[in-house]
Amino acid sequence: MWNQVEFRLQERRRGFHLVTAEVARHLPELPQVGLLHLFIRHTSAALTINENADPDVRTDMESVFNHLVPERQPYYQHTLEGDDDMPAHAKCAMIGPSLTIPIRNGRLALGTWQGIYLCEFRDYGGSRSIVATITGE
């Protein structure tokens, strides 16, 4: 069985946002066993899996990435779209645009402390388009 849906995540400000429940609401019924592949159709935001319990982790992740890839560097040439745009592209390349999550017993087989993050790297990135592809039986 293959199924594919496209949906939009609500607009969020820059930061790391737990979106597991929002993603799950957009998915059709999951197979008993399979894989969910999520792909974000943007170059200034990313998807990852990380800590789902302590919100300080999300704040700290934002701080880490802002330290690793600061804004307004003299070597940036791509500057027409604002100070946050080129760093957003670099951060997206570091994390990546997609995730693959196993499906077990009709549910996402995430670990106890794992959740899906939207990594929004623009100050105002707008709603984000996600393609979800499901395979399984």
pLDDT, tens only, 56-82: 999 999 999 999 999 999 999 999 999
Find the mean pLDDT for residues 108-128.
Answer: 97
Write down the pLDDT at residue 106: 98
The residue-averaged pLDDT of 75-96 equals 97
The owner of tokens 């645009």 is 97
Band of residue 101 on the pLDDT scale cut at 50, 70, 90: very high
What mean pLDDT is reported for the chain? 97
Q: pLDDT (tens digit, 9 = 90+) per residue, 4-34?
A: 999 999 999 999 999 999 999 999 999 999 9
pLDDT at 126: 95
